[in-house]
């Protein structure tokens, strides 16, 4: 590959004699030529800039000087006009291809460019010639990029990131290093090019460790010395997902759900990212969902969500009129406004997907005194731990069912309830009634530490339903191996 860098500070690029890029040049893998732009000036002061049309601060680089220089290095100049001082630059680039003409790319670093990415570096590594036009001052006259685009040259105005540098030279160093290391033969072990940050997986790289095994009191994670390759691979993937979720939410939002297995989704869920079911109008992508306490402003949206999701949870034999009557009697915006206004009695947690609004909520009814169990005349007998609160509603939009949002809501509800006291006594239990026929819901609750305690009857309009009562003990576990927050007599939830 041939790379030409045009700059008024050629010495800035002396670093390209060093390290792998320097070796690639000496080995003939990279034909890198650095040119002084002033060699194409014709005046005594070797002027490259002038004042901006339209006024304003600073100076702008002249298009005529750039045009002569670029024509020479791109080989777009008539042969007779090759500038004498352009070093060894001649009109031609790499070896002429037998069929396709060589691919020459003009790169113009500028803070107003498109982001320079690994994907662009990989694409550029397949070009025959890159020309980097390093601007200084307020930049290069805009007609330069326009002109070369019009003459059929591939032009990219590129930026390194959202900050301002004084010129394009640092970007030239970045582009040369990012592209050169991808050229065949430049990196000794091409395996180190896979599994990198910004590779195909769309994840940041996992953390790496070497000897000594303990340093500054810090031990290398045990799994890495276990010799279990499967466990190491899973740990590294978990770390990559967690890092990416913490540091680069923009990358998580671009992940392809088809490439995410159950374990991946569990890691992302712990960081607040969930994959909805595919919608007709959009490919599924992970969505950031934050579980928070409800506020008065949520009343209307929660009523809408409840009216949309409640019918889906009803058994098929229930009459539509009964379902609608229940919604009107219990799930209007006015009801939610009342729940949200009374936080001694009600705990409302909302799974908030940002612009998409709430995608789920839980409603918990708290006892006002330690002896009172809300709405529980027929439940008191089976719920022995006191005081106990009723987990009255767990609703999740259909698109997010099975995504892990319900689990995140349940975990947050359990954690909130465990922190509440009634008459100075910590809440001891959270109980719920769920339709006996809904085995899926029961499995999900038991994964989150609820155990079946008994049955109760429950009226929806004209139909008498039978509910399974399930209880989650909120008291801290005791004894060896007990994890904080794990219910007594429970196995640890598997998700």
| Closest-approach residue to ligand 6GU (CB) | 109
Smallest separation (angstroms) from ligand 6GU to the CB of 250: 17
DSSP state of 58: S
Pick from 153, 165, 318, 477: which binds ligand 6GU (CB under 6 A)? 165
- Cβ closest to ligand 6GU, residue 164 vs residue 296: 164
Binding to ligand 6GU by residue 159, rule CB under 6 A?
A: yes
Q: Judged by CB under 6 A, how many residues of this single chain contact ligand 6GU? A: 13
Length of the chain: 495
- Cβ closest to ligand 6GU, residue 69 vs residue 158: 158
Smallest separation (angstroms) from ligand 6GU to the CB of 140: 11
Tell me the C-alpha distance between 106 and 156, whole Å: 6
Q: State the DSSP H helix or E strand holding residue 346, giving kind and residue range, or none if neither.
A: strand 346-352
Three-state SS string across 87-133, please?
CCCCCCCCCCCCCCCCCEEEEEEEEEEEECCHHHHHHHCCCCEEEEE
Smallest separation (angstroms) from ligand 6GU to the CB of 165: 4
Binding to ligand 6GU by residue 167, rule CB under 6 A?
A: yes
Binding to ligand 6GU by residue 110, rule CB under 6 A?
A: yes
Q: How many other C-beta atoms are found inside a 10 Å radius of the C-beta of residue 242?
A: 17
Smallest separation (angstroms) from ligand 6GU to the CB of 73: 19
Stretch that binds ligand 6GU, among 166-174, 228-236, 374-382, 458-466 (CB under 6 A): 166-174
Binding to ligand 6GU by residue 160, rule CB under 6 A?
A: yes
The tokens 């306490």 sit on which residue?
A: 293
For residue 96 the two structure tokens come to 């002429």
DSSP assignments along 285-324, one per residue: --EE-EEEE--GGGHHHHHHHHHHHHHHHS-TTS-HHHHH
State the pairing for strand pair 421-422/425-426.
Answer: antiparallel
Smallest separation (angstroms) from ligand 6GU to the CB of 166: 6
Stretch that binds ligand 6GU, among 123-131, 164-172, 206-214, 441-449 (CB under 6 A): 164-172
Smallest separation (angstroms) from ligand 6GU to the CB of 154: 17
Q: Classify residue 23 by burial, with Cβ atoms within 10 Å: 0-12, 13-18, 19+.
A: middle
- Sorted by sequence, the CB contacts under 8 Å of residue 352 that are 6+ apart come out as 289, 290, 291, 292, 358, 359
- Cβ closest to ligand 6GU, residue 3 vs residue 171: 171
Tell me the C-alpha distance between 117 and 104, whole Å: 19
Stretch that binds ligand 6GU, among 155-163, 197-205, 243-251, 311-319 (CB under 6 A): 155-163
Binding to ligand 6GU by residue 164, rule CB under 6 A?
A: yes
Stretch that binds ligand 6GU, among 84-92, 106-114, 218-226, 267-275 (CB under 6 A): 106-114
The closest of 50, 55, 86, 49 to 68, measured between CA atoms, is 86
Stretch that binds ligand 6GU, among 23-31, 104-112, 213-221, 423-431 (CB under 6 A): 104-112
Smallest separation (angstroms) from ligand 6GU to the CB of 16: 17
Tell me the C-alpha distance between 202 and 249, whole Å: 11
What are φ and ψ of residue 465, in 5° steps?
Answer: -105, 155
Pick from 44, 79, 84, 163: which binds ligand 6GU (CB under 6 A)? 163
Q: How many other C-beta atoms are found inside a 10 Å radius of the C-beta of residue 273?
A: 24
Binding to ligand 6GU by residue 168, rule CB under 6 A?
A: yes
Which residues contact ligand 6GU by CB under 6 A? 109-111, 158-161, 163-165, 167-168, 171
């Amino acid at each position: 590959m041939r790379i030409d860098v045009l700059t008024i500070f050629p010495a800035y690029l002396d670093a390209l004699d060093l390290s792998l890029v320097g070796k690639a040049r000496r080995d003939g893998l990279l034909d890198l030529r650095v040119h002084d732009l002033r060699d194409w000036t014709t005046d005594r002061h070797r002027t490259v800039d002038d004042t901006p049309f339209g006024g304003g601060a600073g100076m702008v680089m002249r298009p005529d000087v750039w045009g002569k220089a670029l024509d020479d290095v791109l080989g777009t100049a008539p042969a007779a006009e090759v500038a004498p001082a352009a070093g060894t630059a001649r009109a031609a680039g790499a070896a002429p291809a037998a069929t396709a003409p060589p691919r020459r790319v003009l790169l113009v670093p500028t803070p107003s460019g498109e982001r320079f990415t690994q994907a662009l570096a990989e694409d550029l590594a397949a070009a025959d010639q890159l020309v980097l036009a390093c601007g200084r001052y307020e930049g290069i006259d805009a007609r330069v990029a326009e002109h070369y685009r019009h003459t059929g040259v591939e032009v990219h105005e590129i930026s390194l990131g959202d900050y301002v540098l004084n010129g394009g030279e640092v970007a030239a160093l970045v582009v040369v290093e990012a592209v050169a290391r991808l050229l065949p033969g430049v990196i000794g072990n091409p395996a180190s090019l896979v599994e990198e940050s910004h590779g195909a997986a769309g994840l940041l790289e996992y953390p790496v460790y070497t000897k000594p095994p303990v340093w500054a009191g810090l031990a290398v994670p045990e799994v890495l010395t276990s010799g279990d390759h499967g466990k190491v691979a899973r740990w590294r993937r978990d770390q990559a997902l967690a890092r990416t979720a913490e540091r680069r939410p923009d990358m998580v939002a671009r992940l392809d759900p088809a490439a995410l297995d159950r374990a991946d989704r569990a890691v992302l869920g712990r960081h607040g990212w969930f994959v909805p079911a595919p919608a007709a109008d959009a490919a599924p992508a992970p969505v950031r969902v934050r579980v928070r306490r409800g506020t008065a402003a949520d009343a209307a949206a929660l009523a809408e969500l409840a009216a949309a999701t409640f019918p889906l949870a009803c058994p098929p034999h229930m009459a539509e009129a009964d379902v609608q009557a229940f919604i009107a009697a219990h799930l209007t915006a006015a009801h939610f406004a009342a729940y949200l206004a009374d936080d001694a009695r009600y705990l409302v947690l909302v799974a908030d997907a940002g612009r998409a609004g709430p995608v789920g909520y839980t409603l918990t009814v708290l006892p006002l005194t330690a002896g009172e169990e809300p709405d529980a005349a027929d439940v008191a007998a089976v719920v022995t731990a006191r005081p106990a609160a009723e987990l009255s509603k767990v609703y999740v939009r259909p698109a997010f069912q099975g995504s892990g949002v319900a689990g995140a809501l349940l975990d947050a509800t359990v954690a909130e309830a465990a922190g509440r006291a009634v008459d100075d006594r910590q809440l001891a239990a959270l109980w719920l009634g769920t339709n006996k026929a809904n085995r899926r819901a029961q499995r999900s609750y038991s994964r989150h530490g609820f155990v079946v305690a008994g049955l109760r009857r429950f009226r929806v309009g004209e139909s008498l339903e039978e509910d399974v009562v399930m209880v989650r003990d909120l008291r801290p576990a005791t004894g060896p191996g007990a994890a904080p927050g794990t219910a007594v007599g429970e196995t640890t939830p598997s998700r």
